[in-house]
């Protein structure tokens, strides 16, 4: 029990060793001293709460919020001491806010529980006691042999033992894990692959040793020891043997596997991403404002307490004849009395802190986020994908972006590769009519003639056809000679690949005569000019981002052992010792200048002795349990050397539509765009120029190919000097990965100075973590700019998570970027609408919402403070406690919520066509100190007008009621409250530009509701109320004509100055947004006139119109 508690608190991790030992079918050793390892059960738990801990855990989380905790303290103070207002006044709003939030979070968690129960209760088949037993998914234990049938999802992480195929292979799709829809092949070790029946598997005696669970989907290190008669066979296990929970079995009838990781230790569960913990700038501003208002509150309470005691220093005020003190009061401690009075004033003024602000902001964010998903302009018809919101906490941050970091492939480009050119043995070739034609050589032969390939060309194409991870659609490989149509013509094979480059190259090779026809067992089959050839696949040296290449070792039909390698030119050319290296390097650079993606292809022949050494080293590295990756990397480097260069390929990746216009719009909006890509320097620069990231007129500075710290620093200093001296308006900077890591190591500040003076920066040859480092560098710079990262692949995830706002593109490189992003869109061009329209609106709405909330609470509480000067600081409340409670909950809450959901201060088309308007809201312009000060002063001004206006008009003459009755303090307080409700509601109406029927309904409805409620509340004797100070007060107030006159006069006096200020500023110092609003108004008027005029205008006259001057407003639509 103690150990379990320690584990839960994180002091005693359950896995003490680095590896786990799994006995297949749980056949543990029979000797007595063996202690089985403890493993997690197979339940998936994505929920946050249980029935038992929901209330305490949820309350704890909610009271961590400053405002909630503050109101709890106030509520407790009201319960403990004699305060002027009822504890209900703070208790009810607090209870309302806590309850609403708890219901929302409880409902969300209930849905998670429901989903978990569905998954955990799914039926599965397990081999036990010599037969198949049906059980629930949650009952699977580590070591169980599980059977999975075609199209079923794997219930645990399994090591593949056998399949219905003789070679023990199976096909799997991991779309739900990483979004890759291509089929991946997994293979069992030969010794277990033959065990295809339950009876045979039940006799298997084997032990698996593997690493402890980790989140990396593509990494698995283990080995299996199989006991056969007297010998023990050891085989390596890698990612190709591991079937992940959540993946689906395809094109395979059934498989058997042994459970190695279960429940929350499966790779899928370890990859669960908790909700984004990013906080927006608005939330930070809100907390700063709360602290300022807390200081105002404390100041008012302390001042009131001091003034009370200063007043009571005079004998006649200390104990007037009508209010004598008791003996207990005379003898009590003065310090305790002072503290008690201070707390009483604190309670009286506590409503200056708006508790309902948080709940309104949450509702605004949650409901407002639906508009992005509903926006048809962000819907991509071809792929049937709409925009997706993964977190609603950052909506307004979309309006504050200063830097955009974008990936290139799949984000700016389509990630649809087309083979364009290749270089073989120093000669450039192009594909013409399905034939490989040397550059400058025109092919006039008719299509029917088969083009014969030279030896070098054939070897190059064979290398392309053998060195890849491409799969063929299984339905097409059933026939012995490949697929055929009824008329005897071969159907083109349908290839699947995780890399679009590989697919494009294999398809191109098949068009020019060397066709990859599939794999069977450990053989790869190709047809070279119609002649079938079979190569035995001996080893695959998988691609990794550090090596930047992949290789296969095959045995040719003649028995030769060959290594085929392809990869980036920077990783192949230095390892090549023969072939046309210099010519190929020139060709690769030429391809890159055209914006093509380049790969180099090379090969190596092994002598029998060399191959024996290679096989031995590979086996040792692959069966190592410790440092397997490092050992494999060393062996791969040993194998991939002394290469003979065959040539290079150039594949084009088409730009997405409207990329150029989007980048230009971002630049006009004052947003700096950085492109971070893994491509080589020349390719990246070429694409940057074609997509408008770099302009032809731009002065392009380079910081590339630096190997030492000193040269990098010197170059940086020269660039900084050039920027100062050159009078070019715009500079662009190109940095590569190696130079960047040098620059970030010692010369961060100098590098940042250079970058900030460049209007466009391009970083090429970037590793995924370097992308995140660059984002973090800018994010934490002294200016603290708001950053946005956008990408489509798994290599962009770290950058997306690092930036303030992360956007995933629903592209062809899987769904990992989308899963880890805050927002997801289908195309890069949608970014402009997302920022300039949605971001702009969200920011304006929430900025007004936050400041309006503080304004209306200043209006609410300041009259309470002023009233104390007229009641000897006796803590008498000005308003009835029911009004205190309902002011923020009912009377003034809806107009601002509806405003914050629907407000459009400028037409969306205008915002999108004039990106420069985005600059008006940048750097948190509407939530800075100046606007905050304006709203606060306005609140105090209005409060003074309410109080002293009512006092001057009504307070002196107390017999102004229609029936000659006295005008009491409750009537006075109600008059102030009535004026206040009308004024703050009308103030919201003045701020609203975009009126819908909902706005009209809640604005006028709130005022009407206040009047109806007050008539009912004061007009009836309610039996459950302890006292009813307000009985008939409101009815009598409204029966007085002078009261109506006072209400109208005070409301007009308050808002008149506000209107005058708006008009003057709008005409004398208009912002770009206000100019756009005025143009929009004129445009709508002039387009109406144009429409009327055009009905009377003849066709001939229409042709005479000057196309350069469209009618007013046309440019806005």
SS3 state of residue 689: helix
CB of 534 within 8 A of CB of 525? yes
Nearest-5° Cα angle at 89, 84 to 91: 120
Cα–Cα distance between 243 and 267 in angstroms, integer? 10
The one catalytic residue in 157, 393, 407, 501 is: 407
Mention every residue, 6+ apart, whose C-beta is less than 8 A from residue 639: 541, 551, 553, 563, 614, 617, 618
Cα–Cα distance between 351 and 343 in angstroms, integer? 14
In sequence order, what are the beta bridge partners of 187? 169
Rounded alpha-carbon distances, angstroms, from residue 244 to 19, 273, 492, 767, 860: 19, 17, 32, 26, 60
Cα–Cα distance between 556 and 552 in angstroms, integer? 12
What are the φ and ψ backbone dihedral angles of 1036, each rounded to 5 degrees?
Answer: -65, -35
Cα–Cα distance between 597 and 501 in angstroms, integer? 8
CB of 832 within 8 A of CB of 812? no
Cα–Cα distance between 290 and 286 in angstroms, integer? 6
CB of 1080 within 8 A of CB of 906? yes
SS3 state of residue 229: coil
CB of 797 within 8 A of CB of 767? no
Helix axes 737-746, 768-779, angle to 10 degrees: 40
**In the structure encoding, which two tokens stand for residue 65, read together?**
């919020």
Burial degree of 944 (CB within 10 A; 0-12, 13-18, 19+): middle
3-state SS string for 580-626 = CHHHHHHHHHHHHHCCEEEEEEEEEEECHHHHHHHHHHHHHHHHCCC
Rounded alpha-carbon distances, angstroms, from residue 1067 to 8, 754, 910, 1060, 1064: 65, 40, 20, 11, 5
Cα–Cα distance between 370 and 391 in angstroms, integer? 11
What are the φ and ψ backbone dihedral angles of 849, each rounded to 5 degrees?
Answer: -55, -50
Burial degree of 699 (CB within 10 A; 0-12, 13-18, 19+): middle
Nearest-5° Cα angle at 1048, 1045 to 1050: 100
407 is catalytic: yes
Residue 481 CB coordination number (10 Å): 9
**In the structure encoding, which two tokens stand for residue 79, read together?**
């319960």
DSSP letter for 484, please: B
E strands in 843-959: none
Cα–Cα distance between 356 and 98 in angstroms, integer? 10
What are the φ and ψ backbone dihedral angles of 905, each rounded to 5 degrees?
Answer: -70, -20
Quick one: which of 451, 447, 503, 450 has its CA closest to 473? 503
Cα–Cα distance between 801 and 731 in angstroms, integer? 29
Rg of the chain over Cα atoms, rounded to whole angstroms, equals: 37
Please tell me the number of Cα atoms within 13 Å of 396 on its side-chain side: 31
Residue 157 CB coordination number (10 Å): 27
Mention every residue, 6+ apart, whose C-beta is less than 8 A from residue 1074: 1066
Q: Which residues are catalytic?
A: 407
């Amino acid at each position: 029990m103690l150990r379990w508690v320690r584990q839960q608190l994180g002091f005693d991790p359950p896995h003490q060793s680095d590896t786990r030992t799994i006995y297949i079918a749980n056949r543990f050793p029979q000797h007595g001293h063996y202690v089985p390892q403890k493993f997690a059960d197979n339940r998936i738990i994505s929920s946050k709460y249980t029935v038992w801990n929901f209330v305490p855990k949820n309350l704890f989380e909610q009271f961590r919020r400053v405002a909630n905790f503050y109101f709890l303290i106030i509520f407790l103070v009201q319960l403990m001491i004699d305060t002027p207002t009822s504890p209900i006044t703070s208790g009810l709003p607090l209870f309302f806010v806590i309850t609403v939030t708890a219901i929302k979070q409880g409902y969300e968690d209930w849905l998670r529980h429901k989903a978990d129960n569905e998954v955990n209760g799914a039926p599965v088949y397990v081999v036990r006691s010599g037969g198949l037993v049906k059980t629930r998914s949650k009952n699977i234990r580590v070591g169980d042999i599980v059977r999975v049938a075609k199209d079923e999802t794997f219930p645990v992480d399994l090591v593949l033992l056998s399949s219905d195929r003789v070679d023990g292979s199976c096909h799997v799709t991991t779309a739900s894990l990483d979004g890759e829809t291509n089929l991946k092949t997994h293979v069992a070790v030969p010794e277990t692959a033959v065990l295809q029946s339950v009876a045979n598997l039940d006799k298997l005696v084997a032990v698996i040793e593997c690493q402890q669970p980790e989140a990396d989907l593509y990494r698995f290190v283990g080995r299996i020891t199989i006991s056969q008669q007297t010998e023990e066979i050891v085989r390596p296990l890698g990612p190709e043997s591991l079937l992940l929970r959540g993946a689906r079995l395809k094109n395979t009838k059934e498989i058997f596997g042994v459970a190695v990781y279960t429940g929350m230790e499966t790779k899928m569960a370890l990859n669960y991403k908790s909700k984004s913990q990013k906080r927006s700038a608005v939330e930070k501003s809100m907390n700063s404002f709360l602290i300022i208002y807390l200081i105002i509150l404390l100041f008012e309470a302390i001042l009131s307490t001091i003034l009370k005691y200063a007043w009571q220093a005079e004998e006649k005020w200390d104990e007037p004849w009508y209010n004598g003190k008791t003996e207990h009061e005379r003898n009590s401690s003065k310090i305790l009395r002072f503290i008690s009075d201070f707390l009483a004033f604190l309670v009286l003024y506590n409503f200056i802190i708006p508790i309902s602000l948080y709940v309104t902001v949450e509702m605004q964010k949650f409901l407002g986020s639906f508009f992005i998903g509903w926006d048809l302009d962000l819907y991509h018809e071809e792929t049937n994908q709409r925009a997706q919101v993964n977190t609603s906490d950052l909506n307004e941050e979309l309006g504050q972006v200063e830097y955009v970091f974008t990936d290139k492939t799949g984000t700016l480009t389509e990630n649809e590769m087309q083979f364009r050119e290749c270089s073989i043995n120093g000669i450039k070739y192009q594909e013409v009519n399905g034939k490989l034609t040397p550059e400058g050589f025109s092919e006039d032969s008719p299509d029917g003639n088969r083009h014969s390939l030279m030896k070098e060309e054939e070897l190059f194409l064979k290398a392309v056809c053998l060195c890849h991870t491409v799969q063929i659609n299984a339905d097409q490989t059933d026939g012995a000679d490949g697929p055929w149509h009824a008329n005897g013509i071969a159907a083109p094979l349908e290839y699947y690949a995780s890399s679009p480059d590989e697919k494009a190259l294999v398809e191109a090779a098949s068009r020019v005569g060397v066709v990859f026809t599939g794999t069977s067992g450990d053989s790869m089959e190709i047809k070279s000019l119609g002649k079938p050839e079979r190569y035995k696949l001996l080893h695959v040296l998988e691609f990794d981002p550090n090596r930047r290449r992949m290789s296969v070792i095959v045995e040719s039909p003649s028995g030769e052992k060959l290594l085929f390698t392809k990869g980036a030119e920077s990783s192949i050319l230095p390892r090549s010792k023969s072939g046309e290296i210099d010519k190929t390097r020139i060709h690769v650079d030429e391809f890159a200048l055209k914006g093509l993606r380049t790969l180099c292809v090379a090969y190596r022949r092994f002598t029998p002795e060399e191959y024996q050494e290679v096989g031995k080293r590979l086996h040792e590295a692959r069966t190592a349990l410790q440092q397997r990756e490092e050992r494999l990397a060393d062996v791969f480097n040993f194998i991939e050397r002394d290469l003979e260069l065959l040539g290079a390929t150039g594949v084009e990746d088409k730009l997405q539509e409207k990329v150029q216009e989007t980048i230009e719009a971002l630049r006009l909006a004052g947003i700096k765009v950085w492109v971070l890509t893994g491509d080589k320097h020349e390719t990246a620069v070429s694409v940057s120029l074609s997509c408008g990231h770099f302009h032809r007129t731009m002065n392009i500075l380079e910081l590339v190919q630096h190997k030492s710290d000193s040269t990098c620093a010197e170059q940086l200093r020269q660039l900084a000097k050039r920027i100062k001296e050159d009078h070019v308006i715009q500079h662009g900077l190109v940095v590569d990965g190696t130079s960047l890591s040098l620059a970030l190591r010692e010369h961060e500040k100098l590098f940042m100075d250079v970058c900030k003076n460049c209007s466009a920066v391009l970083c090429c040859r970037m590793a995924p973590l370097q992308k995140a480092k660059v984002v973090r560098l800018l994010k934490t710079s002294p200016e603290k700019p708001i950053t946005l990262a956008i990408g489509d692949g798994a290599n962009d995830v770290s950058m997306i998570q690092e930036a303030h706002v992360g956007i995933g593109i629903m592209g062809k490189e899987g769904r990992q970027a989308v899963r880890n992003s805050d927002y997801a869109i289908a195309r890069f061009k949608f970014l402009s609408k997302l920022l300039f329209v949605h971001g702009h609106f969200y920011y304006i709405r929430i900025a007004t919402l936050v400041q309006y909330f503080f304004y209306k609470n200043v209006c609410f509480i300041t009259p309470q403070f002023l009233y104390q000067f007229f009641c000897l600081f006796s803590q008498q409340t000005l308003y009835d406690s029911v009004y205190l409670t309902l002011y923020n909950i009912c009377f003034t809450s809806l107009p601002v919520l509806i405003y914050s959901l629907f407000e459009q201060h400028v037409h969306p088309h205008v915002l999108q066509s004039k990106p420069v308007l985005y600059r008006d809201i940048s750097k948190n312009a509407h939530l800075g100190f100046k606007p905050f000060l304006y709203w606060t002063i306005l609140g105090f001004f209005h409060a003074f007008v309410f109080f002293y206006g009512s006092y001057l008009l009504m307070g002196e003459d107390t017999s102004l009621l229609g029936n000659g009755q006295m005008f009491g303090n409750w009537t006075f307080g109600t008059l102030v409250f009535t004026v206040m409700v009308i004024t703050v509601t009308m103030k919201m109406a003045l701020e609203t530009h975009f009126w819908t029927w909902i706005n009209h309904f809640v604005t006028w409805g709130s005022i009407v509701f206040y009047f109806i409620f007050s008539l009912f509340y004061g007009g009836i004797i309610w039996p459950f109320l302890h006292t009813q100070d307000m009985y008939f007060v409101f009815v009598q107030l409204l029966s007085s004509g002078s009261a109506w006159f006072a209400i109208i006069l005070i409301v007009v006096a308050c808002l008149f100055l506000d209107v005058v200020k708006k008009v003057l500023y709008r005409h004398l110092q208009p912002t770009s947004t206000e100019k756009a609003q005025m143009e929009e108004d004129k445009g709508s008027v002039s387009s109406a006139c144009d429409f009327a005029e055009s009905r009377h205008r003849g066709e001939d006259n229409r042709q005479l119109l000057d196309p350069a001057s469209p009618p007013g407003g046309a440019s806005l639509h």
